[in-house]
Each structure stands twice: as structure tokens, then as C-alpha cells.
Structure 1
Amino acid sequence: MDTAPLWEDNDYPSTHLMPDPVTPSEKERETEDQQRDVLASIRGLPAWEEPAEYQGSVGRTMFDTPGATDNSVTVLLPPECIERVPAQSMVRITSYPDGRTYLGIVIAGPFAEPDGLRADAPSLTVTAVRGAMFMPRYHGRVQVEILGEQLASRALVPPRFRPLPNSPVFALNSSDTAAVLHVAGTIQLGVAAGDETINVKIDSSRKSVLPRHTGILGTTGGGKSTTVSRIIKEAASTDYAVILLDTEGEYTEINQPTTDPTMLAALQRRSMRPEGVTNTHIFTLVGKDTSNPTHPDIVPFTLEFSTMSPYVVEELLDLNDAQKQRFEKAYDATKHVLKDLGIFPEPGNDNHQKLVVELDEFDTGYPRMKLSHLYDIVGIIHAIVSKEEPADVFLRSPDFRSQKDQIITRVKGYAQGTDNRLSWRAVLGKVSRLMRINVFDRPDAQPLDYGKLLTPGHVSIFDLSDTDSPLLNNLVIADLLRGTQKRQDEMYQQSQQPDGTPLTKTLIIIEEAHEFLSEERLSAMPNLFQQVARIAKRGRKRWLSLIFVTQLPQHLPRQVLGLVNNFVLHKINDAVTISRLKGSIAGIDEALWQRLPGLAPGQAIVTFTSMTRPLLVAVDPAPAKLRMID
């Protein structure tokens, strides 16, 4: 074999480096002469040519070893072809001589191996540690995962056989690779890592993609906010109605172009220009401030207690079983008082009577019931149980004040048999906590207009940065999800009519999703999760898509991950979290999982239902301004 010249080093005796040169024997010289004579005798023949089936190939398949696995083959490469098949590159294998065609992707390698020697052979290690390298001829090796067998129609089907040994392997060009991976779409996410000519896009025109829901996971600084801002901009430009629940106020300035030097440099490298997201609107709870007071469209809103399921409210208030029984008793008493007073249903109103009969309190609350109504009833019952004078209770609701005697008479029946004063006091205290938040049924603000929220191209940013209350954030998220799903259902029914208008595609992004649906909360809030699950399942048919964003994916319960079919995984260091995600996310090969802890900011492992397989992607920089939150 050919070798590179050895080095000279006067500090070491030559015997420490290599054995003394050996003069070739007479027999060896005779053998070499015979070889030269043979070569000379055939010089007149045509030069050897590679068979037509192998021309243009970069390597050949190897024999299988006892440790071989299904859907994976070893490919050997000549040294000049190693750089043509980097990790995650696509290849075509033409099995010879059976003629079957397979498509595969490099999942390990390329590795460089010496010809005919072990990589740790003494002749290599001894010279290397002495400051030089015995350089034999070498070849490349890659491990290829078989994606499927390609038929004559170019359809890709599960493989029934494996490529035969010594079959030629061809590297696909960028356009062929993009076609095989199915990365075409309408929402530009980034480029394939290692090949910037392959644009990775999300196919938002198919109901089987975004409505299958998405998880954007990763540690702080991994690039989640950049990914979210890109999806917002791209989705809005394709006529999605975008609703963003921003718990930190990080996205309230995306109407402006970015000024971050790092982002500007990244945009310049990608030949992009900084620009803000158009048609953005900031919504804040009444009495709360926004992190961007200069935004041109700030809309305060109030929550309506009548829209919230009583079972979800009691879970959010963290009531124990005894307190839940008393809360439900007070809720029923309030409904009867509203009926007695003609508030709802109104006398003679058949539509109201129908609503009462069809009411599903696991999904919504009692129409026209205000939080002050419930608070007054709980206060009266607590006074009766405590042997106090109920007439002395101050009623918060103007609807009740003029009818106090009638109300007390009606409520006394609900107080019988419930003499646990301390339990009623606890319920009164927790309902009072909601009253002190002072965001329910406010006359100085309007409830949300879901018709406007679900307008194509409309970007609604709910700034919850000033609430400083997980309880209040969860109330807003629960109410918004319910209201959006109800309005989307109505629009869906209208779109099914012969003269109906097309249904608006809607995207709801929940930042810090672990605070809303954590493992700890789920066991205590089954009704809330069931509400989210219903929205997720119905949304798949009604163009209602959810995106869960979190830096603590280990806190998301398996049930929530089970609702998600698309993932964008930024850097995750925790080995336990990665192991847990492996059990929930299918199709990602071990080589990509091993890269996850070392991903650079902006890199992500992306898998969508429209793609052939997961892919390592360099997410495009955000052209809009983000308020970087440490």
C-alpha cells in the first residue's frame, strides 16, 4: 500500500519510530519485475471502465454483519466521495442485479477508515503518538436508513427486501432531496442544516398538518421565540387568524422591525430584510397594563363569568371535595334565583328555555350569571350556617339588592343540612379571591368579540405580562379556548351551507404551556384537560390548530403530548426529558436524538406530518422585533 513519508527526528533513535529499512530480497525483486512485465503486456488494451449501472455512484452497499438492523445498510465510499454524503443527506440505492430502487438518508457518518487495517492498528497509533501519522489508503463509511422502496411510478412504499451487497449508491441533488422529504409548503420555517438550498416549509394548506397540533420545545436561549415569531408572520400572511397567549409580553413589539444586531446580521446572510408583522392587535385584561404601551391598537377586555364551566372554575380555585359540593350547591341556588327573578330564562322566552335544557355545564356556564351573583348567594348561605342574620349581608349585585327578602327565602332551603361553617367560609374566601381580581363582568370594558378575532390575517396578542397570577392566566386561557372553539364551530356549520363563506383557518399559540397544563395540575384539573382535549379533537376537522410552547417539556403530561403530532425541538440538555420525549415522538433516529443537547441557537429537529421524516433545520432569523426576556 502507498504510504506518506515518515518524519525525521534527531531526538529519538530511528529504532523508536520504525524498524530499520530492510533491503528487498532477490525473490521480492523478481516478483515485482514479473508484475511490471504483466502490466506492460496489457498496455495496448482499452482502459478499464466502470459498468454503466455504477457510473456516477458515490459508494456501494456492504455485506450485512450479525449486528445489522432492519431498514439500515452500511455503505462504503472512496475517499474522494466522502464529502458528497454528509450527515442527513439523501441517497438512492439501485439494488444490483435485482433492479429495485431504494431511497435512504445518512443517519451516521461519514467515517474515515483505513483500507485493510483497524483504525487502532499499532502501526497507526505508534506513529501518531510520536508526532506524525502513518497514512495508508482509506475509505469512507456511512450508515443509511432506508426510507422506502421507490416504484416505477415514483411512489414510495415500505420496503419488502433489502438492497443487495455491492449495489451502487447515488447522492441526490438538492431539488430531488427536497421532493423526497416533502418540505414544500406555504410557511417558510428555515433551511435544511448542511444544505441552504433546501427550504423547509410547513404545508398549511392541508388539514392533516397544522390542525394536528404542534409542540415547540427547548431550553431558554434555544430559539423558540424566533420560531414562534416566524410562524406568526408566515401564518398571518397566508390568511390564518393567529391568537397568541403571551405570558411574558415578549411578542408585543412584533409590529416593528427587529433592531437586534445578531438578528440583523443573520437576516443579511439570508438576504432578508427586517420588517414587522402587520395587522397586530394587543388585548389586555381590563385594569392591566401592556408591556408595549406605544402599540397603535390596544384593546382592554373583560371576562364573562357566565361563559366559564363551573367545574373548570372549581378546579382552578383548587377546591377540595367538600368545598366542591358546597360550591355546586351555591351555583345551583344562584341559577334558581336568576330564574325566580326572571333574569334568565326570561318569562315566555322559548329560546331561553331551550338553552337551559341543552346547557352543557362541562363546557360553559349558566347564561347571564355574574360572579357577583354567586358571591352574594355564598355569602347568604354562609351567614345562615353561621347563625348570623342573612339580612345584614351586603349584596354586591344590583340585580339582587331590591329582592333580598325573596332571595333569602329561596336560599334557606339550600342551607339546610350544610352546617359546616368552616367549609362554607373557605368557599366564600376563594370566591372572594376571584372578586378581588376584578376582571369579571366589568361594565367599563367589552367581552371578547370572537368574530373579529377569527378574521383572516388578524394577529391577536393577549398580553398577560401584568397579571402576575397563574390563576388569572389560566382563567383567560380556558375562557379563550372555549370561546374560540365555540365560534369556530358556528363558522364551520355556516361554511357547510350552499352559500356559506369559507372557514377561517385559526392558529392558537400558548406560551409557557407548562404553567397551564402541567403534570401536577392535570390530576387536579381533569375537567380542564377534557375541555382542551375536546378542542384539540374537534379542531382537527375545523381548521383550529394549537401550538404549545414551553421551555420545560418535562412538565407537560403525556396526555398533552399525545394531542400533538408536529414537533419543533430546540436544544434540550436534560437526559431524562429526552428519554421521555423518545417515548412520545416517533420517527426521530438515534443520531438526531444525540444531537439534541448540542444544537446551536436557532437549530431545531423538525418533524411535521407532511414531511417524509424528521430533519435538522436552521430556523430562519426573525425579521420582527422581540422583547428578549431573560
Structure 2
Amino acid sequence: MLAVSEPSGNVLGEGFVGFIVSVESYTEARAFVYNPGTRLLRYGALALVEDPRGERSYLALVVDVREHSLMPSVDEERLRQISRLLAARGAEYRDALQVARQLLSPSSSLVRWYSTRELKLRILGELAEDRLAIHEAPPRLTSIVREPPSELLERIVSRGLSVAGRGLYLGTLAYNPEVRVYLDPERLTTHLAVLGQTGSGKTETVKRIVAEYAWRKQFFSNGGGVVVFDVAGEYTGYPYSDPRVVPLLDAALNPSAFTSINASWLTNTRKTVLVPYDLSVISLYQRAEQVYAGDIAAMLEQLAGRYNAQGYRATAVLYARHHIYLVEPHREPRPISRGEAAQLLRAEPFLVVAAPLPDTLRVEEIAELARTRSEYFSLVVADMADRLGLLALDTVVSVKSLAAVAQLTWRTYQSLRSGDRSPHAVASRIRSIVQNVINNVLSAEPPERCRAVREAFENQGQLHGVFVDCPAWGTLLSLPLVLQDPAVDPWSVVEQALDTRIEDTGQTWRETLLRGARLAAQALTEQSWQTMASVVRGLDRVARMVSPLLDAAHYRLLAQRLLEGFSIVHLAPPSRGDTDAAVSRLLDELFHVSVANYRRGRRSLIVVEEAHNLAPTDEDRASKASLLRIAREGRKWGLSLVLVSQRPGFIDPGILSQAATMIALRITNPDDLAGIKRGVESASQEIVERLPDLEPGQALVSGLAVPERRIPLLTRVEMLRPRT
């Protein structure tokens, strides 16, 4: 092999790296590298390929680098000096030859050895006016390989997003910090998967994307909002706190400290932290819910400094069994009316809301939460709710009230088992009880109505104990007006509600209640003993999980607030218990709100952390069905779904496959790598093979939201930091 010196930059032009030495196929080529200092000697680098005549230029991706062979390079200037010295001394030919052999031996200081590196290139396309087009022919042999100018690369990979100001800045190319990487927010409606193991920089990547989306939202969206499901409290900064990282909530409350963008949408929109919790793990006593209100207050106290510094009031609303509470730092929680709570949901600039499951659930949700094996459970529940006028399509509008009627019917039936057990006798007994309840409620003053309801049931002879609580019947008796106006206090309109005529039947609500009680009793007593027991147990279990004060109207107000503003669903403490059902219910409500309020150009972002827990591969969950519907149908309603997971191999492939864009950080587990290949369309074999080698903070970005989707970008993600 001939000895060559290292080519200088002015011989073959600026950025020269090497030559194409082999064209394997239409999209694959190999090149020898003669510039050992080039930045192209790594996977993911982008190379410029020019044919010898300068007729065509190509953009190529480096997919492999290997050592090829050793090449010597002689220090010619020093060799000439030695030659002149030998000649001056009159050395004979034999002596000169011996000296030359020593000087040119492999160990001589006159000889430097270079390892020729070979690049395997994937031809991405032909460059035409700074755009990438499909190439009609591959590059020819001896085509020159160069490092592309940074300005050219940025024009190609950003496609104008940096100029327009609407692109979501992610970071820079890992091998070239001069080139910035952007995502197209309008293409996120085809959904995004952010995948990486613990410590890879996954959370920081999500925080960067969400912050950029919220800061720039006014540039690309006509309405809609941002909802982030936070599992560990990393986005709110509570209870997880690390002085080295910035919580996402800080960037939302004070955007000017983090970006020079005029983030008008984020500055003016309502901010919400929703704390879902499982009401069934809190005791039935009123004192227990006041203690839980103290936990919410502790959260506010720790975060109040950040809120107050930005001019926000630290306020929380807690929906519980007995009351709706207003919670503020360093103050005792106080009960507030439904009207006050509704006004806070509508107007408060920043609000923490602690909410269990609402009192309005679908029949299939009730069946799942009841954990019953009875195949007749859903049928009986639907039939009872329908007879009572509590069924709207497949939804029970007051689970607590339905459970109260079922419990009443069951205990009355049990008390009559030794005597007349006919449906007529049971129905008459229940009708008498309901009539007495109505009479007692109307005869009592408003502050005494709860006690009057309890006494009405306690005084029914053979029925013992307090088995129906006041809020359930309060909701049931005032249901017509409550559904019309969520700001109305139920206890102030009981009499009007009872005298209100129902348009479909022409009967008053009083008449409908009495008739419904009789029909519900008949429906139950026609079932087997085991079915009746299963229905009552199941409904009682579900009734302990829902707040009778969080009905359909208030829950819709809450969902609208979340989806129209910047919201974090905080699933870390003080959230407690099993919150899967609450998350599923919320996802369904967000979908319904997006459909009901859709208009052209509306965009909303929903970020789901730990997606493998909500949509596991081999397990049926309500949350999986909810996510699947958003993934499949959300695009047409302006919903962009971001699936975040450290275990992509455990995410249901049917959901993961809906993500047309992938940001993959370091992953080493073989099952997870296989899951990515199986579930993500934009994940090629070569991308997956490189994921174990990535450094923390590095990501391979590919798919439809990348401005030039044919180019996978090896990116160094920029952490969320305040401006200096």
C-alpha cells in the first residue's frame, strides 16, 4: 500500500473526510476516512456526500464505524535533512542504504502509522435547495465525503421551525452542539413515545418537551391545554425534591425566568394540581376527612413559597364524603358550598383539587370496581338505575343514591323474609319508608335535615342502625335541579326539587321516587338471593369510593378546567390508595371534553408517566381501554398523547404502535429492546441496537414529529434551567 500524508483542508476542500470506496446498494455505501479528527466517526452523525463532478449531493447517516487497515506516513522533511547530511559526509551507497532501512523501519520515529477507518453509510436522500429529496441513483465511487456545514444541517433538520418560533426546542445534535433539534408540535397528534431506563434522562426530556409546548402554545393552537400525569412528584416538586433539577411547575408559574419567548397562553391560563385519592381508604367518620385535609394543607405549605413568589394564592378544594372543604396553609379546613366550589373551579388562577371518584360512573365501571363474579350484576344495576331514573345511556348519574336504595331494599327484604316476601309487600314497605323520609326532610329545618333523614330510617321498626347516610339522599332528592345548575346548594331546594315535574313522564320527582322505590324492590326481589347479595355488596363497596358531592356537573367543570389550562395530575403523596380507577375515569372525561369542545386548530397535550402500569401487555384494565381510545381516536379531536415508560416491553403493543414519533434514551434490557422493535414503527433495527450505548441525556429522535422524518437525530437533550 502506498504511503500517503494526511490530506490538508485546502487540498480537497473544507470539511473533507474521505471517499466512497464501495456502493453496496441503492441506500448503502462504504467510505474510507483519511481525517482522524473528524466528528463523523460515531453512529448517528450526518455526512455530506458529493459526486466527483459535483452534479449531485447526498445526505448520509453513519450507521457503523470500524478499523480497516494501517497506513504509514513518512516525515518527508526530516528524511530530506538526513539525506543531505549523509551526502555531506560522503557516505557510500551501502552505508546510506543501511541507514535508510533503519530510518524506515516500522519502529522508526520518521514513520507515523494511521489506521484507516471505514464508515458504513445509509443514504438518506439527495439534497435539493436545502431539502432532502428521494435520490434517483446512489452516489458513485470516489464521491467525496465531508462534514456538512452546521448552517446547512440546521436548515435541513429544523425545516424552518427555528425561524417560525413554533418548534419545540429539544437540544442539540450530540456530535455537533451548533445544530439545534426541534419537534413539530402539530405532528404530535400522531402521538409520541419517550422511552428510557432509570437514570437515562427520561424525565428531563419530558419536562423540556412539555415546557416548550406550553411556552409556545399560542403559536400553533386555538384552545386546548396541557395535562401531565405525575407519578413520583417530580413535576410538582413534592414530595420529590432535588436541588439539582427544576420542577416543571416552576417553569409554568414563572415562564419568563426560563425562556425569552412571550409565553402569553401559559401566563394567562389557569393552573391546576389535581390530587386523585381513594376515598375507600379513609374512615367513614367526618374527622378522618378533616385529617386528610391536613395532609393537603401540608403540601400547600411546602409549595406556597413558590406560588406566592409568582403572585398566586395557595388554595385547595377537597371533595370528601360529608363536605367540600376549602384548604389553605396554616388554617383549619372549612366546609364550603357546592356553589363556592364551582366558582373556584371556574375562576381561580391556581388551584389544588383533591378528588376521589365522582358519583357518576358507567355501569361497566361500577361492575369492575365492585369486583363481583356475578354475571347478572351489571344487568341488575342497570335495571335498578333505569327504574329510578338514574340511568343516562350507560351511566349511573348518582352511584351513592343507587347504593342507598339497594341497601334499603335489601334490608327491607331481609326483615320480611319470615313473613310476606312477595314483591308487592316489599315494595309497599319500601314505599312507606321513602315517603316517611320525604316527610321528615320537608318538616325539618335545613340544618337538621341530615339528622332527620337518619332518624327516618332508624325509626322504621324492624330496620336497625344507620345504613344510609344523609348526602346520598340529599343528592337523590335534589337531583333535577342539581343537574341543571351545579352551583345550587342541594339542601336549599329539596322541596322545589320534589315538586318539579319531569318532562318525559309528566310526574313530579316525588312521584318518581316513590314509584322507583317500588319498582327497584320488585326488580331485586325477583332475583335470586345470591344475586341480590352480590349487587348490594358490590354497590356498597363502590359507594365508599365515590364522593356524593362530586356529581357529573362538578366533575365536568373539573375536567374542562384541566383540559383548558396547564394541569398536573399528582399521583404521589398525599394521593393515596388505588388510583387506577380514578385515572381511567379522568382520561375518559378528558376525551369527552375534547370531543364536546372541539374546534378547528384546537390542540391539547396529555402526558402519561409509567405508561406500562396503565396499559400493561397481558392485563385488562379500564385505564388501558381509556388510553387505547385516546391513542386511536384522539388525533381527530386535537389530542396529542405522550407515553412515557422505563419498561417499553411491558406496554400493550396496540397502544405503543400508535406512537408515530419516538424519543429513545439508554435502554439495556433485552425485553424492552424487543418491545420497541415490536411496537414502534419508527424504530429501525440499527436504532434499537445502539440504545444500550447511549450516554445519560442522549436520545435518538425519529418519526413524524421530526421535521425531516427520514433522519434519526442523535440528540443531547437540554435540561430545564432558569436563564442566567
Q: TM-score, normalised by structure 2?
A: 0.62
Contact 2:28 2:122 in 1 (8 A): yes
Alignment correspondent of 1:507: 605
Q: Distance in 2 between matches of 1:490 and 1:53?
A: 63
Tell me by how many angstroms 1:104 deviates: 0.8
Tell me by how many angstroms 1:219 deviates: 1.9
Tell me by how many angstroms 1:386 deviates: 6.4
Alignment correspondent of 1:566: 661
Q: Distance in 1 between matches of 2:21 and 2:271?
A: 57
SS, match of residue 540 in structure 1: helix
Which AA in structure 2 matches 1:477? Answer: V
Alignment correspondent of 1:435: 543
Which AA in structure 1 matches 2:122? Answer: E
Tell me by how many angstroms 1:488 deviates: 2.0
2:580 counterpart (468, 474, 480): 474
Alignment correspondent of 1:293: 300
Alignment correspondent of 1:338: 389
2:692 counterpart (585, 588, 597): 597
Encode CA deviations 1:380-411: one digit per residue, 9 max, x unaligned: 56558868666548444316699887445212
Which AA in structure 1 matches 2:300? Answer: P
Alignment correspondent of 1:250: 234
Alignment correspondent of 1:379: 407
Q: Distance in 2 between matches of 1:108 and 1:319?
A: 57
- The reply to whether residue 532 of structure 1 matches residue 583 of structure 2 is no
- The reply to whether residue 610 of structure 1 matches residue 610 of structure 2 is no
Tell me by how many angstroms 1:281 deviates: 2.7
- The reply to whether residue 463 of structure 1 matches residue 570 of structure 2 is yes
Q: Which moved more, 1:68-77 or 1:397-406?
A: 397-406
- The reply to whether residue 622 of structure 1 matches residue 720 of structure 2 is yes
SS, match of residue 63 in structure 1: strand
Note the residue ranges of structure 2 that are not aligned, 5 or more in a row: 73-104, 218-223, 248-254, 260-265, 278-288, 304-313, 315-349, 418-425, 431-462, 478-509
SS, match of residue 22 in structure 2: coil
Alignment correspondent of 1:123: none
1:488 counterpart (594, 602, 607): 594
- The reply to whether residue 281 of structure 1 matches residue 272 of structure 2 is yes
Tell me by how many angstroms 1:566 deviates: 1.8
Superposed CA RMSD: 4.3
1:60 counterpart (14, 19, 34): 19
Encode CA deviations 1:300-323: one digit per residue, 9 max, x unaligned: 354564653322443354444x34
Contact 2:385 2:402 in 1 (8 A): yes
- The reply to whether residue 241 of structure 1 matches residue 210 of structure 2 is no
Which AA in structure 2 matches 1:409? Answer: R
Contact 2:677 2:684 in 1 (8 A): no
Alignment correspondent of 2:93: none
- The reply to whether residue 210 of structure 1 matches residue 188 of structure 2 is yes
1:519 counterpart (611, 617, 623): 617
Encode CA deviations 1:3-36: one digit per residue, 9 max, x unaligned: 9xxxxxxxxxxxxxxxxxxxxxxxxxxxxxxxxx
Alignment correspondent of 1:145: 122
Percentage of pairs with the same residue: 20
SS, match of residue 232 in structure 2: coil
Equivalent residues, number: 515
CA 1:573–1:431 in structure 2 vs 1: closer, same or farther (change >3 Å)? farther
Equivalences for residues 60-459 of structure 1 within 5 A: 60-64=19-23, 68=24, 70-80=26-36, 82-83=38-39, 86-96=42-52, 99-109=55-65, 111=67, 113-115=69-71, 136-150=113-127, 152=128, 155-182=131-158, 184=161, 186-204=167-185, 206=186, 209-239=187-217, 241-253=225-237, 260-261=243-244, 280-285=271-276, 289-290=295-296, 292-294=299-301, 295=303, 296=314, 297-302=350-355, 305=358, 307-320=360-373, 322-323=374-375, 325-338=376-389, 359=393, 361=394, 365-366=395-396, 369-379=397-407, 382=410, 392=463, 394-396=467-469, 397-398=472-473, 406-415=515-524, 418-421=527-530, 423-442=531-550, 446-447=554-555, 448-455=557-564, 458-459=565-566
Contact 2:29 2:122 in 1 (8 A): yes
Encode CA deviations 1:102-160: one digit per residue, 9 max, x unaligned: 221111126463149xxxxxxxxxx99x9x9996444221111111233x555533334
Alignment correspondent of 2:681: 586
Note the residue ranges of structure 1 that are not aligned, 5 or more in a row: 4-47, 117-126, 265-271, 345-355, 497-502, 625-630
Tell me by how many angstroms 1:556 deviates: 0.8
Which AA in structure 1 matches 2:519? Answer: R
Q: Distance in 1 between matches of 2:644 and 2:39?
A: 37
CA 1:335–1:79 in structure 2 vs 1: closer, same or farther (change >3 Å)? same
Q: Distance in 1 between matches of 2:143 and 2:155?
A: 23
Q: Which has the higher helix share?
A: 2
Which AA in structure 2 matches 1:284? Answer: V
Tell me by how many angstroms 1:451 deviates: 3.7
Q: TM-score, normalised by structure 1?
A: 0.70
Contact 1:2 1:136 in 2 (8 A): no
Which AA in structure 2 matches 1:338? Answer: G
Contact 1:380 1:408 in 2 (8 A): no
Encode CA deviations 1:52-92: one digit per residue, 9 max, x unaligned: 9988642211124xxx4552210112145644554322222
CA 1:440–1:571 in structure 2 vs 1: closer, same or farther (change >3 Å)? farther
Tell me by how many angstroms 1:618 deviates: 1.6
CA 1:137–1:538 in structure 2 vs 1: closer, same or farther (change >3 Å)? closer
Encode CA deviations 1:459-512: one digit per residue, 9 max, x unaligned: 2122222376664x22222222222222222322xx35xxxxxx5421111222
CA 1:292–1:145 in structure 2 vs 1: closer, same or farther (change >3 Å)? farther
Q: Distance in 1 between matches of 2:409 and 2:245?
A: 62
